Amino acid sequence: MSDIQILAPAKVNLGLKVLPKRADGFHNIESIFQTVRLYDKLTVSVLPEKNTCAVFAPGFNDLPAENTLTKTYSSFCSLTGCSTGVKIFLEKHIPSGGGLGGGSSDAAYFLKVLAKINKIDLSSELADKVASQVGSDVFFFLHSGEDQDKSGCAVVTGRGEFVRQILPRNDLFFLLVFPGVHSSTKEAYSLVDKTYEAGSILDCPNLADLETIYRSPVKDWTFVNSFTSALLQKYPKIGLALRDVKNSGALWADMSGSGATVFGVFETKQSAENAYSLLKKSWSNCVIA
């Protein structure tokens, strides 16, 4: 079989309400996830060796030996009985620890390739079993509705496993700024837990209102990310990036996921490009998506 190439998109969170920790240690969330035009590229080859998953990611030194790709392979093989060996060449463009879901997206799209290689029907049941063993954001990337012609967009609840597709807006342009801060998901949730313990509760929009807010003019958005205020106190550079994105003309700006990527939303490509020209002078790592 010839090599299979696939693009795995990043996502941003439009609002992200984190509820108090559950008895099992997870947190329920309420958020709109939308894919953006920033991709990791995976090239998957079949190996003669069975039960082998070799991952090569040149220039990406932070990839641990056990990662979302190897976890996906192990889970898929365990659930299906398949043993086909594979080699993955990963071109990493989505920053790790940026709140953009790069590792989860890689896992979801690799799973689709694994199913194709092994001629297995990737049912929702099988996909969700793998996602539950790999990471909560994997559910969204498996069920987002994203394809070459349109973004994926969904209201996501539970710990991430409940994904309700909604029609994506095609008039939004995103400018992503990477402030050079690495925020681990574990640390971010710990900081939010501390705010709950201190009796501080953010005033987040109701779940039922999220799609209505999304459909409204961007300048009127009232989304809230529970992680933003918690991380701003620890990482001032996130606040500086947010300030600069807002001052660049963005109609809306916030942090994505558990950070630390900051993004601005624009309703024309030209306004996003103008903002990019301003921001790249201070923030070398930024991109229109």
Residues of the chain with pLDDT under 50: none
Q: pLDDT at position 200, please? A: 78
Residues recorded for the chain: 289
Tell me the binding residues.
95-105
CATH architecture observed for domain 4-165: 2-Layer Sandwich (3.30)
Q: Which of 11, 17, 71, 92 is catalytic?
A: 11
In the chain, what are the domain boundaries? 4-165, 173-288
Which tokens is 16 given? 């992200």
Start-to-end Cα distance in the chain? 33
pLDDT of 63? 83
CATH classification of 173-288, choosing from 2.40.128.110, 3.40.50.150, 3.30.70.890, 3.40.50.300?
A: 3.30.70.890
pLDDT reported for residue 271: 98
Residue 260 preceded by cis peptide, ω within 30: yes
Collapse the DSSP code of 19 into the 3-class scheme (helix H, G, I; strand E, B; otherwise coil) and give the result.
strand
pLDDT value at residue 121: 95
pLDDT score at 61: 78
Instruction: Let me know if 150 is a catalytic residue.
Output: no
State the binding site for ATP: 95-105
Is residue 171 annotated as part of the catalytic site, yes or no?
A: no
183 close to 258: Cβ distance less than 8 angstroms: yes
Alpha carbon dihedral 234, 239, 242, 243, in 10-degree steps, equals 180
Choosing from 40, 106, 137, 254, which is the catalytic residue? 137
Report the pLDDT value the prediction gives residue 274, as an integer from 0 to 100: 98
45-77: per-residue pLDDT in tens?
999 999 999 999 998 877 888 999 999 999 999
pTM beyond cutoff 0.85: yes
Q: How confident is the model over 197-238, as pLDDT tens digits?
A: 887 778 899 999 999 999 999 999 999 999 999 899 899 999
